[in-house]
Structure 1
Amino acid sequence: MKHVPLSILDLAPVSSKGDTTEALHSTTELARRAEAWGYQRFWVAEHHNMPAIASSSPAVLLAHLAAVTSTIRVGSGGVMLPNHAPLVVAEQFGTLESLHPGRIDLGIGRAPGTDQRTALALRRTIQGLSAEDFPAELAELIAMLAGDPARVQAVPTAAALPQVWLLGSSDYSARLAGLLGLPFSFAHHFSAANTEPALAIYRASFRPSQWLDQPYAMVAVSATCADTDERAEYLAKPGWLSFLRLRAGLPIRLPSPAEAAAYEFSPAERAFVEQRRVGQALGSPSTVAAQLAELLGRTGADELMLTNQIYDLDDRLRSYQLIAELGERPASGQTGTLCLSSATAR
């Protein structure tokens, strides 16, 4: 029986009737509750020019979240390296690790995650990082974090490095994470068909490093839990509609469940939503327990990171609390060690 920690990835969703201030306060409350419930880590994602997402500046938001919590690890899921000079990221996360030693994760992504116009505004170029450029810039970032005297010095330099992760949804990132001996987080929530092949490549290509003696794979999965299967589906629909609008190039703030319920999905849209639901967790506690246990058994993940786009804060908190109640803690009762096992569904 394998026990794995549970963590949370949050996008600071901005609701159709709210604003970014409300969204950031909601994320703050969720981080506090996640710590109390025993989640292992709390990550925020970098997205730009998207009206439904307020987590555009992970380093700034993480400084706040780390200051209002005390034990849970906080980190980026992730910082998109094509958008930033390595020195800037090294300075930001060196500062965070200096302020909150032993609690900071630096998850790094290879894709800019935005359109060309926004990429130009971020880094003054629309040129992304090639397959050759990304490993070099990643190595430069890590060397700066470590205070390599041959590099420009990133100050503050923390006494210890933040925990560096590589994020991905492709074979490329999986192989690179393995070759570098880094922990790897796979975006199952939007690339479910690639999960098992990518994890197999990561494990096969893994080389022990200063970071890890053996591979460590985390799977990010969409998880919406409510008292009944029907209620969970009702709460999940706004996220589906928001993603459809984003995919069509017409991003909107997160609609309410009532607004999403009133929307008439076309046959093509319904088919797309059904495809995205495959492999995700959606339903009552018993349903979600079975789905997460199945995912854990199928992927052999060392950790599961849960994420959702639930409109109302109370419903969002309730979803994560219900899942927390499925988990187990060691006898010591210490926080940050909530675990799920493959036997949870039994």
Structure 2
Amino acid sequence: MRFSVLDRAHAIAGISESEVLRGVVDHARSAQALGFRRFLLAEHHAVPGLPGSQPALLATAVGAATDSIRIGTAGIMLPDHQPLIVAEQIATLEALYPARVDAGIGSSLGFTAPVRAALRQGDVAELKKRYPADLRELISYLRGDAAVTARPANEGATPVFLLAGFRSVLLAAELGLGVILGGPNQVDAARLYRENFRPGLIGAPHVILSGNVAVADTGEAARDLLIPEAWAQAKARSTGSFDSLRPLSELDESTLSARERRRIGELLDTGIHGTPAQVAARLRPLLRATGAQEILITGGMSDLAGRARSEELLAELAARA
């Protein structure tokens, strides 16, 4: 049982965005000390609660502050950039931190129409249609067999993982890429990927299963760790703004609509939370069923001490597995 971390650089009420980003670097040091496999960064543009807009830049800072944990992105959103620029970002990271970099690539568009316009994304349908071709172009730059030679040269050294759902796993399998599958309900997607995989940038199928995971000494305490992010997500559905995570003590259930309360419950149900024994009992069958090599922990938490304790307990779980 192996664990990695995706830090989305969640804003936390009362903490400046500068402190949040510097806290990401501190988080990476802690993850390395605990023996986690990877530390990955996400891309979000103009989202109030997510100041981590540039994963490649943030990964550079993380790489400079660590020396053994693998670093990278989960992911760089290809529709936000020209494929050549993404290849240069990945290759630069690989040149600075050889044999430590993983490139997670996603297809998400800007969160709102003004953000999509600011990113010069154009027609949404056209972007989605073009994504497979852009992905192939990106890979050609990394391999060094495109009409333009990207610098620094990568020569296919960096593993590429597609942030994939059921529809996109076939594209990852065709191109010989790894996959990062979101949530516990991905058994069929993992099977489809493995059955259709052809060697490409990597030689064998590689599945990373991502999800919100929280561990504490009691099941209730573990669930509490995930409530602030679920709350922010539910509110975002109503207001259109994903805001800073607030302490659990500041969240007033009386302000929730019935739909928001139901949404929070659904989000918590998709996570994995509990005592070490309870979490292990949930994870082991998932790992067997999907053939996943590791779990990527994705949940944001406003209780940083609780997050640290959760990750300590996960590290102990991995050591015993």
Query: What's the TM-score, normalizing by structure 1?
Result: 0.86
Tell me, in whole angstroms, the C-alpha distance in 1 between the residues paired with 2:103 and 2:16: 27
Output aligned runs, 1:4-153, within 5 Å. 4-123=1-120, 125-127=122-124, 130=127, 132-148=129-145, 150-153=146-149
Q: Name which of structure 1's ranges 229-238 and 36-45 shifts more when overlaid on structure 2.
A: 229-238
The structure 2 residue matched to 1:206, chosen from 192, 197, 204, is 197
Deviations 1:18-75 (A, max 9, x none): 1211111221111001111111101111111211112110011000000000011111
State the one-letter code of the partner of 2:40.
W
Alpha-carbon contact 1:46-1:57 (below 8 Å) kept: yes
Counterpart amino acid of residue 324 in structure 1: A
SS across alignment from 1:136:
helix
Per the TM alignment, residue 284 of structure 1 is displaced from its structure 2 partner at its CA by: 2.1
CA distance in 2, matches of 1:16, 1:305: 25
Residues in 2 aligned to 1:160 and 1:204: alpha-carbon distance in whole angstroms:
23
Deviations 1:160-192 (A, max 9, x none): 522111112x3221111111121111111xxx4
Equivalent residue letter for 2:294: E
- 2:287 partner letter: L
Q: 2:287 & 2:136 partners in 1: Cα distance?
A: 31
User: Are the aligned partners of 2:94 and 2:158 in contact in 1 as well (CA < 8 Å)?
Assistant: yes
Please give the alpha-carbon distance, in whole angstroms, between the structure 2 residues aligned to 1:118 and 1:298. Answer: 38
1:80 Cα shift?
0.5
Are the counterparts in 1 of residues 182 and 211 from structure 2 also a CA contact under 8 Å? yes
Question: Match of 2:166, as an amino acid?
Answer: D
SS in 2 for 1:325: helix
Structure-2 residue corresponding to 1:312: 303
Q: Residue in 2 aligned with 1:331?
A: none
For the structure 1 residues 52 and 116, does the alpha-carbon distance in structure 2 shift closer, same or farther, using more than 3 Å as the test?
A: same
The alignment yields a C-alpha RMSD, in angstroms, of: 2.0
Deviation at 1:250, TM superposition (A): 2.8
- Where structure 1 has 5 or more consecutive residues not aligned to the other structure, the ranges are 329-339, 342-346
Match of 1:333 in 2: none
- The CA distance in 2 between the partners of 1:235 and 1:171, in whole Å, is 29
**TM-score after normalising by structure 2:** 0.93
CA displacement 1:65-107 (0-9 Å, x = unmatched) = 0000001111110001001001111111111111111111110
Aligned to 1:183: 178
Q: Which range is displaced more, 95-104 or 308-317?
A: 308-317
**Count of residues in Structure 1 that have an aligned counterpart in Structure 2:** 320
In structure 1, C-alpha distance between the alignment counterparts of 2:82 and 2:258, rounded to whole Å = 44
User: Does 1:215 find its partner at 2:205?
Assistant: yes
> Does the 8 Å contact 2:5/2:297 carry over to 1?
yes
Q: What CA distance in whole angstroms lies between the structure 2 residues aligned with 1:239 and 1:151?
A: 44
Q: 2:194, 2:205 within 8 Å by CA — same for their partners in 1?
A: yes
Give distance in 1, aligned partners of 2:152 and 2:102: 16
Deviations 1:194-250 (A, max 9, x none): x122212212221233412x3211110101122211222222211111111222213
Distance 1:57 1:275, change over 3 A: same
CA–CA distance in 1 between the matches of 2:129 and 2:175? 14
Aligned mates of 2:254, 2:74 — CA distance in 1: 31
Instruction: Work out the CA distance in 1 between the residues paired with 2:6 and 2:98.
Output: 21
Conservation of the 8 A alpha-carbon contact between 1:97 and 1:104: yes
